[in-house]
Structure 1
């Protein structure tokens, strides 16, 4: 085994936010579950990563109970569950040590948010010398407001603003930015054959 599937931030915290109504793939857990089943059948390690913001009093504050895998997903015995406090999965965790100890040189990336934690982890992993496959349809994201947008707008106002980047635009941009430079881009079907 020299390959690991990273499942990044597929957690209840996101489903508790208003913008979940505009997520690119509300069934992201189903696609991730396909990847997990495939990885397990191949004997690859599955590593679950959660994002926490202790003391924030948001859905990412572990004290509020939402920093857990989305209902329906579960780590199997022996699969590490790591909690991070940075955007990438390396900086505030022992992920690199874990990968090194197990001789893992290839990573498969899935999770929430496509352009944020998933892309940032991919870039850093590539810089660290890992071979990376970014599973574009096993990531999900939300529309992004323009930098000059006023704070505190409703989801409807955000979506109505022509300067807001759509989820399709974000996913396409990520695919273009990562392809060849940082990762091989693949789909769930391409990886699993299903």
Structure 2
């Protein structure tokens, strides 16, 4: 399959979704995939900052009892890579569900006010909040790019016990890629491809 050349708009918004310390709790979540996710997210944040493009930080405030992402839990805080790169101009969206479009403040209104039509989505978890946000963004008419290697997720079972359905984190990431690109919601790309496109626009 021939990959269409990537173009990154001058006002393309980078969404950094739920890159929170609570996701480091391996005992809570189980095995994960893509150990390079955080490095790639940091590289994209640096490129966006250098080019003056907007960054949106999304943070999950879980309402589930005992969640490591609950506001009162230390895991609610951003991971250091995000905290160290956070700027006062970044939009901070807080949500309690999977989609970043159902949060506070209103993400769609903020994007509309700034004439932003392209979104690049990164973060955790690939098949949960990243995929849900990408699906909704695609439905709303945004040009959505997902550098899959700047996301990660965890093994998941259906909760029915022995003999139930389960998928590894890698399998779930593959399913997300197929769902999003095959379904026409988003384009699946790599961090390197996005960084190269940003560099071309910056130096042009």
Q: What TM-score results when the alignment is normalised by the length of structure 1?
A: 0.86
Alpha-carbon offset, residue 66 of structure 1: 1.9
CA distance in 2, matches of 1:107, 1:23: 25
Hey, what does 2:96 align to over in structure 1?
A: 85
Listed one character per residue, the Cα deviations across residues 49-85 of structure 1 (whole Å, up to 9, x for unaligned) are 0101247332111112321211232212211121111
Q: Which position in structure 2 is the counterpart of 1:71?
A: 80
Instruction: Confirm or deny: 8 A CA contact 2:93 2:103 kept in the other structure.
Output: no
More displaced stretch, 105-114 vs 86-95: 86-95
| Structure 2 spans left out of the alignment, 5+ residues | 1-9, 200-204
Q: Tell whether 2:203 aligns with 1:192.
A: no
For 1:73 and 1:146, the matched residues in 2 are separated by 31
2:41–2:122 contact (8 Å) kept in structure 1: yes
TM-score, normalisation: structure 2: 0.82
- Root mean square deviation, CA, Å: 2.1
Displacement of 1:147: 4.5
- Select which of 139, 150, 153 maps to 1:127: 139
- Deviation (angstroms), 1:45: 0.6
Runs of at least 4 residues of structure 1 off by over 6 A? none
Structure 1 distance, partners of 2:55, 2:172, is 26
Answer whether contact 1:17 1:59 (CA < 8 A) is retained. Answer: no
Change (3 A) 1:19 1:26: farther
- Aligned with residue 115 of structure 1, among 124, 127, 130: 127
Q: What does 1:14-163 correspond to in 2, within 5 Å?
A: 14-19=23-28, 22-54=31-63, 56-74=65-83, 75-93=86-104, 94-149=106-161, 163=165
How far does residue 162 in structure 1 lie from its aligned partner after superposition?
Answer: 9.2
Contact 2:30 2:155 (8 Å CA) reproduced: no
Change (3 A) 1:105 1:32: same
Question: How many residue pairs align between the two structures?
Answer: 184
Aligned to 2:22: 13
